[in-house]
Amino acid sequence: MPAHTVQARTIRLAPGADLDGFRGAIRRLVPAGIPPETVTWVEGEAPSLFPDEVPSDATGPALALPRAVAGLVASVVMHRDPERYGLLHRLIRRVADGERHLAEVASDPLVHRLHLMRKAVGRDLHKMHAFLRFRRAGVGQEGRERFMAWFEPDHHILAEAAPFFSARFPSFDWSILTPDGSAHWDGRALRFGPAGRREDVPEQDAFEAGWTDYYSSTFNPARTNLAAMRAEMPKKYWHNMPETAAIPGLVREAGRRVGEMIARAPEAPVKRVPARALAAMAAQEPDSLAALNAVIRASEPLVPGATQAVLGEGPIGAGIAFVGEQPGDQEDLQGRPFVGPAGQLLSGALREAGIDRDRAYLTNAVKHFKFEARGKRRIHQKPTAGEVAHYRWWLERELAFVGPRLVVALGATAVLALTGRQVPITRARGPATFEGKPYGGLVTVHPSYLLRLPDAARPEAYADFVADLRQAAALVAEPALGAAG
């Protein structure tokens, strides 16, 4: 018989995503050293398994948790998995016991599972933002139009998602009904209420015909892939989306429309007219990486002066793709990516990290060298956000043809090209989720950054860079990397 027994405890939280209740309980549990395996987390009014309950609204001193842990907690509490609170308790206990960087160790089984849960919540938020459709439901307060919508989220995301709609549609009253709860906007404030019913939302309204026409006009027959469509837009959402009624007809006509597109000879995008250039590129839709590269070679640089387009290099199906900023002087002259000083530094770091450069894919966000002439020298100039956007069409299709499991963004320009957002590398560095992409992500510095550092600071920064590349190698070896979750 043991000298003593560990007392079991039950913590009762509110149904759904009870972040405040969880924080209050954790502030009592962790400082008291209560082992996670002795705690049972219960939602709502379920009967208690143990008589000794810890009030979920109990207050205690705030825990000084790393930002990565706090962000992970805020996302995972929205997941529907009943084990989420217990898993987070285990994470926080280990961090409090000294593993301060645990949330950044993607190879740890607990961290890996929590990151997959966070990705699932992020995808659910994205689907709610993209697939929710309001329908006119009469007149609301003060004569303002009133709209209603029905949505069935996979996770407890209503409170997180609702501010997006109040910011986007502030001028009319609306209600979002879900099986778990409801959100209501009156032009001044958001309030939340009990669950709703689908039959309380109007079946259709006059606006839907125009929306269906818009969807039909933007449908690309050359990219018709029913499996991918169902994966990105699951059928559970179709009955709420008026445009889905047009999909069967659009699919039937896809073959004929693709034939008409093939009959048109490819042309290089129109130079320095972004709207016309994007339209020209979208009409071509090359069916292979070789065809895409032929279009790139035929195009003129957005900013004149480059010798040639510098294409990506590496095998189709490479596990890792590295995306840099743009070609440099040597890359422009040789027509190959990462062959100048920064490329040589990258090659050495890849070797130290155990990554075979010849089995990886290397490319740049911008395909032409932009520079300022100073005598006989050509000095690199950073591309603008507009120039990065101009080349994004190529980058997205290039990566789609290569099909990597992990994309490593080397520097802020690569992050901008992959996400459309400007994010400081100091904040984004490490494993990343590139929303809507079929591959995993990791953000690190561009090797040229290391070359600009003072000699004294370079060894430590280089070691950190190699550590990032080792993490990339570990991530790509994981069986559930990317869109799984």
Which domains can be identified in the chain, with CATH numbers? 9-127 (no CATH), 132-200 (no CATH), 207-263 (no CATH), 274-476 (3.40.470.10)
Closest CA to 103 of 128, 145, 73, 79: 73
Contact 247, 221 (CB under 8 A): no
Smallest Cα–Cα separation from 122: which of 87, 154, 83?
154
Q: What is the pLDDT of residue 46?
A: 46
In tens, the pLDDT along 287-304 reads 889 988 888 888 878 777
Query: What is the spatial distance between Cα 412 and Cα 414, in angstroms, rounded to a whole number?
Result: 5
Give me Rg for the CA atoms of the chain: 26
Is 401's pLDDT higher than 90? yes
Q: Is the pLDDT of residue 320 over 80?
A: yes
Q: How far apart are CA 66 and CA 71, in angstroms?
A: 9
Element (H, E) at 138: strand 135-139
- The tokens for 82 are 């009943």
DSSP 8-state secondary structure symbol assigned to residue 363: E
Contacts of 319 (CB under 8 A, 6+ apart): 359, 360, 404, 405, 406, 476
Give the Cα separation of 421 and 322 in Å (integer): 18
Query: How many alpha carbons lie under 13 Å from residue 245 in its C-beta half-sphere?
Result: 12
pLDDT mean across residues, the chain = 82
Q: Cβ distance 463 to 453 under 8 Å?
A: no
Closest CA to 450 of 375, 361, 356, 345: 345
pLDDT tens sequence across 6-29:
578 899 999 999 999 999 999 999
As given in the structure block, the two tokens for residue 484 are 């799984």
User: What is the reported pLDDT for 57?
Assistant: 44
Write out pLDDT tens, residues 244-267: 555 566 556 656 665 555 555 455
> Which has the closest alpha carbon to 369: 417, 402, 334, 400?
334
Q: Percent of the chain at pLDDT above 70? A: 76
Compute the CA torsion angle 311, 313, 319, 322 (nearest 10 deg): -60
Query: Counting every residue, how long is the chain?
Result: 485
Report the percentage of the chain scoring pLDDT > 90: 49
Phi-psi region of 44 (alpha: psi -120 to 50; beta: other; left: phi over 0): left
Contact 172, 182 (CB under 8 A): no
228-265 in b/e form (b: 16+ CB < 10 A) is eeeebbeeebeebbbbbeebeebeeebeeebeeeeeee
The residue assigned the tokens 């561009």 is 446
pTM here? 0.48
18-32, 376-390, 401-415, 471-485: the lowest-pLDDT one: 471-485
Q: How far is CA 309 from CA 43, 261, 331, 464, in A?
A: 58, 25, 9, 32
Report which of 193, 207, 199, 191 is spatially closest to residue 134, judged by C-alpha positions: 207
